[in-house]
Amino acid sequence: MQDPIILQQTTKSATVPQGGKLLDRFRLLLIDKGYVPVMVEQHAAWARGYILFHGTRHPQDMGGAEARQYLEHVGESKGAKDREQARAALVMLYQDLLGQELQLPKPKRLLDQVHEVMRVGHYSVRTEECYVHWIKRYIFFHGTRHPAEMGGKEIAEFLTHLAVRQTVSASTQAQALNALVFLYKQVLDIDPGRFDAVRAQRPRRLPVVMSRAEVRAVLAANVPSRICCFATTSDHFFSRSLRITSGQFRSLRVS
């Protein structure tokens, strides 16, 4: 059976650099790629755990078998979410820092994970569709970057965009916020950190009853208006919407 994890080694064996230099270089790489500080430390921790798991051997001394062993250990001891985070860290460690190709089985798509978690939690179909919609918009707003690479800063930028550029209502902005909080805390198991966004303005409530001055202004304008008339009988209450002019309104008789 072919090993599902294949590591093409192109460099000679080495020992772990003293003083944590390998991990320091890894952190700088992540920062250059725009990772938030929380994610930088998380990826560095997975890389450190991988090295320690194999007795402080340098990653260049190891291959697919060692990577698979570590990921299986993480999955069994911590769960699937942590295993996928460790997988992403190892892929970046090898491919972007060490220049070696690390081929791993493709993980579940992010949106498939969202659907799975929501169905296990017995969320309604409409809530599931709503959350997936906002998660997609969030991802595309940031150029299809993976949410695991982003955090509070990117969430604030997206929510501010909705309020300022899209002029959405406060309730719509709250829906987007709830979807993103669910994504980070329930699906990715990541604390996105603190974020402050421009809040959408709540709509001004129209008066339920017109004042006398407003009624006089409507009658004086003599333009078609939609009037909602209420009537009652001994047994029923009903309403009727009428489109009438102010002249017709003056001639109405109420008995």
Distance CA 226, CA 209 (A): 14
Question: Which of 81, 103, 125 corresponds to the end of one domain?
Answer: 103
Residues 172 and 244 grouped into a single domain: no
Pair 119, 186: CB distance under 8 Å: no
Tell me what pLDDT residue 222 has. Answer: 65
* pLDDT higher than 50, residue 221: yes
Q: Are 91 and 102 a contacting pair, CB within 8 Å?
A: yes
Q: Tokens for 236? A: 């029923």
pLDDT tens by residue, 108-127: 788 998 999 999 899 999 99
* Residue predicted with more confidence, 138 or 103: 138
CATH number reported for the structural domain that contains residue 177 in this entry: 1.10.150.130
Q: How far apart are CA 132 and CA 138, in angstroms?
A: 10
Residue 199 in any domain: the answer is: no
Task: Choose the final residue of a domain: 69, 103, 137.
Answer: 103
- Residue range 152-209, pLDDT digits in tens: 889 999 999 999 999 999 999 999 999 999 999 999 888 887 888 888 777 666 656 7
Query: Residue 55 above 50 pLDDT?
Result: yes
Q: How far apart, in Å, do the first and last CA atoms of the chain sit?
A: 91
Is the pLDDT higher at 249 or at 179? 179
Q: Which of 81, 38, 35 is nearest to 194 (CA)?
A: 38
The answer to whether 64 and 6 have CB atoms below 8 angstroms apart is yes
Tell me how far apart the alpha carbons of residues 212 and 79 are, in angstroms, rounded to a whole number: 67
Count the domains in the chain: 3
The pLDDT, as a whole number, for residue 16 is 41
pTM of this structure: 0.51
